[in-house]
Amino acid sequence: MVSLERPVQAERRAFFVQCAKEVFAERGFECTTMDDIARAAGFTKPILYQFFPSKADLYHEIVTTTGARLLKALSDAVRADELPRARVRRALAAYFSMVVEDPSAFRILFTHGHSGTAANDLQVIERRLVEFLVPFIDESRDPDERRDLAAGVVGLAEGLAISWLRRQARRGWPTPDPFESQRLAERATLLAWGGLHVLRPTHD
């Protein structure tokens, strides 16, 4: 017999993750305590510990699930039959949609210092993003060059995301307008493709 408690437990776990995400984004890992997270969630710390043994486990879940969601969004956004420029544009549109819709998660990824497990988690995400983009680079080029160029696009997108997040923070986190992610994606595409296009055959 399926337990009726499972949906409730899953919802509570997700709620704790969301609350922790907001607190970590505002205070950073070192300055956040499990008391802070429990208080933000409106529960006692012992209940929080039933779901997460430590704040490091909570932080790990936020970083890894955000990375997994991002990679899935990118994969879902592109189609194999598209030309590289269209695929880059669609991937960047998916990327910035997530940044705008979930700024707390990306503040954690991009604007806080990381060490230990969190730093390793972030490196894994960045490597996978580079691997995702490598197929968009001209196959006639050296494999190392293709990876370097893909890494450059990842860095470009991350830098633009950081700039936007910091601007939002200075302005007191206003609600983004509906076209914000589209504008960011267009800027990133223009710069990324402007750099990549000169290295591709003129007919592509």
- Could you tell me if 119 and 191 lie in one domain? yes
6 pLDDT tier (thresholds 50, 70, 90): low
Is residue 156 in some structural domain? yes
* pLDDT of res. 48: 95
> Long-range pairs for 52-55 at CB < 8 Å and ≥24 separation?
52/16, 55/20, 55/29
How many angstroms separate the CA atoms of 57 and 72, rounded?
Answer: 22
Give the least confident one: 115-119, 124-128, 146-150. Answer: 115-119
87, 146 Cβ separation under 8 angstroms: no
pLDDT tens figures, 30-77: 999 999 999 999 999 999 999 999 999 999 999 999 999 999 999 999
Average pLDDT over residues 161-172: 95
Tokens of 164: 């936007």
Query: Is the pLDDT confidence value at 1 over 60?
Result: no
Is residue 69 in some structural domain? yes
Q: Considering 53, 75, 97, which residue would you say is the last residue of a domain?
A: 53
Tokens of 64: 């890894």
- Could you tell me if 29 and 125 lie in one domain? no
65, 16 Cβ separation under 8 angstroms: no
How many angstroms separate the CA atoms of 105 and 81, rounded?
Answer: 32
Domain that holds residue 122: 63-197
pLDDT tens figures, 171-200: 999 999 999 999 999 999 888 877 655 445
- Could you tell me if 67 and 49 lie in one domain? no
